[in-house]
Structure 1
């Protein structure tokens, strides 16, 4: 049975344990073993840095065990996905794992900016801080979009896609 590492900012939700159980159960329904980061057992009585290192090490070990990573790449605390999730995708890609992501909407990244958040400059668009806005007709930065198969929908959308590939 292939193992799926479940990446995303869902671990920061108030009901993160229930979310994880639901996603792991959904993996099983489609014939996969789900690996959810909060399934790791960590000692929170130690220093914050030691606890953080233990969480990091446990999640890295889970990704190494996984065959596939499915990541929630929806915006988190801004326009971009959770930075930890992005790291996990890049790490998995480097290990030659299959990496999939899902977004509620897969519009062009440029289109995610409101008209008052961008302005044209010499044939390009810039944000309000005069930084170029990437426009490669991808929903996210090219490094993530070129390394990850991104689907519009939710976690189950990716599971259905994977089953259709078999």
Structure 2
């Protein structure tokens, strides 16, 4: 079997050290016998108008997704109680293509706890609506789409957003999954 290619989705592209993070993840993938494809677009002309640039990024990301065998998504909550919206679109694309979907989160809190804390902090724009609470780390449709259970901090302690510890644990599980198919 050829070396499996993993699309490394997540809001990591917004980190101030995004290029270094992408390289670190690719290196860890290689150490586990996988090829990491990070949607970091360094070859695009960033000086073009925003309306052209976002379309070019979208097209480049789709190209990388098509070239990948599976997705490994950083589902750590991003600017809210849930995972990054763009990452979830990518996750759904892989699911729709029938390709394996894997994910991890550096957060140890479940979705209901995070959502409740957010509402308490900023107020409830939609009073009377319930918060989904199945004990899942995020929305049930996210966890239900995964080929392996969501990888979370086993000790119940959250990690910094850019920590690679839980990513590498998930990566080892993904590598083992590919060895067994």
TM range (shorter): 0.7 to 0.9
Is there any run of 5+ residues in structure 1 with no aligned partner, and where?
Answer: 119-126
Separation of aligned partners in 1, 2:118 and 2:53? 43
Give the 3 Å change call, closer, same or farther, for CA 95–116 of structure 1 in structure 2: closer
Structure 1 length-normalised TM: 0.86
SS of alignment partner, residue 37 of structure 1: coil
Aligned equivalent of 1:95, options 94, 97, 107: 97
Aligned equivalent of 1:69, options 65, 68, 71: 71
* Distance apart, 1:138 and its partner CA: 1.4
1:11 aligned residue: 13
What does the per-residue CA deviation read over 1:99-122, in whole Å, with 9 as the maximum and x for residues that have no partner? Answer: 11111235432233349839xxxx
* Distance apart, 1:128 and its partner CA: 6.5
More strand by share: 1
2:151 aligned residue: 151
How many pairs does the alignment contain?
A: 158
* Distance apart, 1:94 and its partner CA: 0.7
SS of alignment partner, residue 71 of structure 1: strand
* Distance apart, 1:84 and its partner CA: 0.7
Mean CA deviation greater in 105-114 or 34-43:
105-114
1:163 aligned residue: 175
Structure 2 length-normalised TM: 0.79
Contact 2:77 2:107 in 1 (8 A): no
SS of alignment partner, residue 25 of structure 1: helix
Is there any run of 5+ residues in structure 2 with no aligned partner, and where?
Answer: 154-165
Give the 3 Å change call, closer, same or farther, for CA 44–115 of structure 1 in structure 2: closer
1:85 aligned residue: 87
Contact 1:107 1:138 in 2 (8 A): no
1:123 aligned residue: none
